[in-house]
Amino acid sequence: MTIILGVDPGSRITGYGVIRTEGRHMEYLDSGCIRMGEKPLAERLQIIYAGLAELIATFRPEEFAIEQVFLAKNADSALKLGQARGAAIVCAANAGLPVFEYSARQVKQAVVGKGAAEKSQVQHMVQALLKLSRKPQADAADALAIAVSHSNFRQSMLRLNVSRTVRRGRAS
């Protein structure tokens, strides 16, 4: 059984999603948003760090998955997003968590089946996959989708490692 914390970083709103996986079974634990408002950037980064540190202490995830930076039209926005990602990654690293990064396209492909999916499609599929009674807020849905994508990636890698071990005659 593995608990995964997925994060959709943002300099104003950072989404998070926590799931527990066992084999192919995924269970929703929590999701939401860390909202920073109009505070100075340094304070917003501290809020991201503190919020994620609290989630890590509460849920004790074994793995941390985060969305990669995408190229934005606005360089200032891209820099702030990178700094928000940095605060989140340092928080995970300080907690001793392995960090896995996925592009938005990879996440949409894994969850919806097409890399150019709309946010509403991601919300719908996350709701269906995790058997939620209602659609999660968009940033929380993105974070849950990142966690689900990581869970799927983990299962693929485990199957690949098992098949390699069996093929080589080294069943362990």
pLDDT score, position 51: 98
Torsion of Cα atoms, 129 then 126 then 81 then 89, to 10°: -30
Which of 72, 74, 131, 66 is closest to 93 using CA atoms? 66
- For 160-171, write each residue's pLDDT tens digit: 655 454 445 454
Q: Is 74 left (phi over 0), alpha (psi -120 to 50) or beta?
A: beta
What are the residue numbers of the active site?
A: 8, 67, 139
CA–CA distance, 7 with 17 (Å, rounded to integer): 7
8 is in an annotated binding site: yes
139 is in an annotated binding site: yes
For the domain 1-167, what is the CATH code?
Answer: 3.30.420.10
Helices (H), 33-169: 41-59, 75-94, 104-111, 119-129, 138-167
pTM higher than the cut 0.85: yes
Enclosing H/E stretch for 133: none
- For 128-169, write each residue's pLDDT tens digit: 999 999 999 999 999 999 999 999 988 777 666 554 544 454
Record the tokens describing residue 2, joined without a space.
Answer: 């593995």
Contact 124, 135 (CB under 8 A): yes
